[in-house]
Amino acid sequence: GPGFQDGPRQPRPPKPDIVHKDDHVLIVNKPAGIPVLRCASPTLCEMVDSLTGARRRRMRVANFIDDECSGAVLFVATRDTEDSPRDQTHPETSYVALVEGVFDESVTKSGETISAPVASSTGQGATPSTHMRVLDSGNGLTLLQLRARPDLQGQIREHLALIKHPVVGDQRHGCTRDDLHRVAIHAQQIRITHPEDDSAQRYKCQAPASFWTALGKEPPPDALPDREAQNEKEQGWDHVAGWYDSLIQDRGSDHHQRIILPGVMRLLDPQDGEKVLDVACGQGIVSEYIVHHANVDRVLGVDVSDRLIEAARTRSTERTEYAVHDAQSLDSLETEHAPFDAAVCVMALMNIEDLDSVMKGVTTQLKPGGRFVCVISHPAFRIMGASAWGWTFDERTTQPVQFRRIDRYMSTGSSPIVMNPGEVARGAPAVTTVTHHRPMSAYITAGAQAGLTLTGCEEWVSDRESEPGPRARAENHARHEIPLFMALRFNKPLADS
């Protein structure tokens, strides 16, 4: 974003993996976000040059997939023929895609074919068609297998958006989900006529495991593993720091900017000259927002991740400071700025195991009368692996109705979440962290047991709007009725009772 130009250096794009290689063809697994031929370097063709060494001048691409997609791309060795690489091999590609929403029983059983012009249509020949088959569903998403004819640029994404099931991560076509932080299409299999002997050959390049884990399902045995953190024993947020910082800094979050941050300021109500503690501050977005919107004396941000604190310090202003410190041991935090007038913890408590220790530590650091504002994903409606969107019809009006299904709520539990599965588009490795589900009462009780008094509670909904369509009204109604976030405000009593 503006003013945040000196952040950590971006990691190098990942290299493609070789799926098959012989004297005539090369098939590689293209990372998402890497252009095949044109656009900014490095392109896939440039990467293949380095992979094939001395043979690189003789390899030409035969099938193109969208830049945002991952998966199988075919290169063919040139020979003494006027035929193009595509004419030599007649490649046919099948895809898997993770899409928003679930399908009715008839589509799930029999599949569906979408036929409609797309932006890249020439107007000649048959109308572009995309056939889809449901592989699995869960968490309000569906995994599809797809074949497109004639497989034009952007065809699959346009067709799926046309039936109001846009591909996850495809904001261009109106998707509101970004579970994988990429456009979730993968070229899974390519069938070719081999140029050596004209035999029919199939080459499979299975999708990343994250396509299934996003559904809350077990990936198949041959699913490609998501790239692990360099140190598998890393815990917390340090191993996701580079990706998380880039995500917030470069792309931002409309919910963060339009709903969470203004709501925090309203509940916190920082006064002139006050000192604020930002607990689990990440890369300092909340801290910097506070000093830019209030005349506070100081904001101290603490986080257990060295890398996130390093990123925060690159954008620190004269009224913000950052320190590496675990939110679960705030009672041992030594700082000249304590005690604080107020404290915040934004979108982090559900990722911290020891909630009681956080609440007790906040109480220790606050002045009598001090405020503590925390924001979390709404624990009643956003339960990892136990909540999902669904569809039905109003029998009276026959209009579609979107609902939120909740499978469990009172039970506490921890779930691994993929923070960056398949995030090859931004060059970061796939990594995971843990989220902890607790009912609302757990947060209120933890605050009370730490000596804090609940003085405010707000539930915040999305302000997004669907593109016009048959389900848009129902989607908008559901967004405005079912909250995304819950915000709590506690106060430390002025004196011990």
Determine if the peptide bond prior to 221 is cis (ω within 30°). Answer: no
CATH code of the domain made up of 17-213: 3.30.2350.10
74 vs 89: CA distance, rounded Å = 9
For residue 45, what pLDDT is reported? 64
For residue 220, what pLDDT is reported? 87
For residue 414, what pLDDT is reported? 86
Which tokens hold the place of 365?
């650091």
Instruction: Find all residues with CB under 8 Å of 377, minimum gap 6, and list them.
Output: 347, 350, 484, 485, 486
CATH top-level class of 238-491: alpha beta
The answer to whether 472 and 466 are in contact (CB under 8 A) is: yes
For residue 51, what pLDDT is reported? 61
153 vs 172: CA distance, rounded Å = 14
Instruction: Find all residues with CB under 8 Å of 266, minimum gap 6, and list them.
Output: none
Nearest Cα to 407, choosing from 424, 383, 390? 383
Q: Where are the domains of the chain?
A: 17-213, 238-491
pLDDT by residue for the chain (497 residues), tens only, comes to: 323 233 333 444 567 788 888 888 889 898 887 887 755 556 666 666 656 554 444 678 888 888 888 999 998 887 655 668 888 888 999 999 999 999 988 888 889 999 998 887 766 678 899 999 999 999 889 999 999 998 888 999 999 999 999 999 888 888 878 788 889 999 999 999 988 888 899 999 999 999 999 898 888 888 876 543 333 333 444 444 444 444 444 334 578 888 999 999 999 999 999 999 999 998 899 999 999 999 999 999 999 988 889 989 988 999 999 999 999 999 999 999 999 999 999 999 998 999 999 999 999 999 999 999 999 999 999 887 788 878 888 888 888 888 888 989 999 988 766 555 444 344 444 456 778 999 999 999 999 999 999 999 999 998 888 888 778 888 899 999 999 999 999 999 997 54
Do 17-213 and 238-491 have matching folds? no
pTM, to two decimals: 0.55
For residue 62, what pLDDT is reported? 85
Exposed, middle or buried: residue 470 (CB in 10 Å: 0-12, 13-18, 19+)?
exposed
Secondary structure string (H, E, C) spanning the chain: CCCCCCCCCCCCCCCCEEEEECCCEEEEEECCCCCCCCCCCCCHHHHHHHHHHHHHHHEEECCCCCCCCEEEEEEEECCCCCCCHHHHHCCEEEEEEEEECCCCHHHHHHCEEEECCCCCCCCCCCCCEEEEEEEEEECCEEEEEEEEECCCCCHHHHHHHHCCCCECCCHHHCCCCCCCCCCCEEEEEEEEECCCCCCEEEEECCCECHHHHCCCCCCCCCCECCCCCCCCCCCCCHHHHHHHHHHHHHHCCHHHHHHHHHHHHHHHCCCCCCEEEEECCCCCHHHHHHHHHCCCCEEEEEECCHHHHHHHHHCCCCCEEEEECCHHHHHHCCCCCCCEEEEEEECCHHHCCCHHHHHHHHHHHEEEEEEEEEEEECCCCCCCCCEEEEEEECCCCCCEEEEEEECCCCCCEEEEEECCCCHHHHCCCCCEEEEEECCHHHHHHHHHHCCCEEEEEEEECCCCCCCCCCCHHHHHHHHHHCCCEEEEEEECCCCCC
438 vs 445: CA distance, rounded Å = 11
Largest CA distance in the chain: 92
For residue 239, what pLDDT is reported? 42
CA of 86: how far to CAs of 67, 90, 399, 443, in Å?
A: 19, 5, 47, 60
For strands 70-77 and 141-149, give the pairing: unpaired
Instruction: Find all residues with CB under 8 Å of 450, minimum gap 6, and list them.
Output: 356, 359, 360, 362, 363
219 vs 226: CA distance, rounded Å = 11
For residue 41, what pLDDT is reported? 54
Backbone dihedral region for residue 148 (phi beyond 0: left; psi -120 to 50: alpha; all else: beta): beta
Residue where the block lists tokens 């909250």: 483
The answer to whether 167 and 159 are in contact (CB under 8 A) is: no
